[in-house]
Amino acid sequence: MKKIVILISGRGSNMQAILEARLPLSVAAVISNDATASGLITAQKHGVATRVVDHRAHADRAAFDTALAAAIDEYAPDLLVLAGFMRILTAGFVEHYRDRILNIHPSLLPSFTGLHTHRRALEAGVKVHGCSVHFVTPELDHGPIVAQAAVPVLDDDSEDTLAARVLAQEHRIYPQAVAWFCAERLRITENGSVELAEAGRPTDALVVPVSA
């Protein structure tokens, strides 16, 4: 069975969705860069080991990433899962776990990389928004895309209502993508796209919009 380590910074609802999906994998630890992250309590309730590696206790990003990698490597995970993890990782860190880090990003990449995606989607007036699971590469939010879910943007949406609609889809596609990785069904092709082995339907990696 594959071993994963989950990195969080806050609430950890995506982490919780993965824990509660009862996937055939072992969650070795949940690590936060912030000791006040409420997701740590959720992880403990699920009997999962937790650790804090506080970025503020380190002189620079390289020192933080070195300490973070040392904590992670104690668990020797097959996969690192970023779930609302809010620290940009150095190229050296990403290389150390090359092709073994997944992230969920709250937009339909390559649109709206970076932060405040729901606000920016509303400002841009897009009619479709969503979330993406991708492999992490040194370039922020630019790695190979594993799965996406789309949601409609409604005329009366606020940042909060839109975020909630997207989050519900995050909780569907992230456990699915992690399960695919652990079943060794994901392959990154030479051109940097992701192939899903034994897909039932051509659209397995896409959740399509429904009218809300």
Q: Write out the catalytic residue numbers.
A: 105
Q: Which pair of tokens denotes residue 167?
A: 């989050």
Residues 69-88 that bind ligand NHR (CB under 6 A): 82, 85-88
Q: How far apart (Å, rounded) are the C-alpha atoms in residues 159 and 155?
A: 12
Alpha-carbon span 4 to 133, nearest angstrom = 16
* Residue 54 CB neighbour total at 10 angstroms: 12
Q: Which of residues 48-107 bind ligand GAR (CB under 6 A)?
A: 83-84, 86, 104-106
Query: Based on CB atoms, which residue is closest to ligand NHR, 8 or 153?
Result: 8
Query: What residue type is 69 in one-letter code?
Result: A
Contact 6, 32 (CB under 8 A): no
Q: Is 176 within 8 Å of 147 (Cβ atoms)?
A: yes
Number of residues in contact with ligand GAR, rule: CB under 6 A?
Answer: 15
Token digits for 201? 């339907």
Check binding of 29 to ligand NHR (CB under 6 A).
no
Closest residue by beta carbon to ligand GAR: 84
Is residue 152 classed as helix, strand or coil in its secondary structure? Answer: strand
Binding letters toward ligand NHR, positions 90-109, x by CB under 6 A? ----x--------x-x----
**Contact positions vs ligand NHR (CB under 6 A):** 82, 85-89, 94, 103, 105, 114-115, 136, 138, 140-141, 143
**Contact positions vs ligand GAR (CB under 6 A):** 8, 10-14, 39, 83-84, 86, 104-106, 167, 170
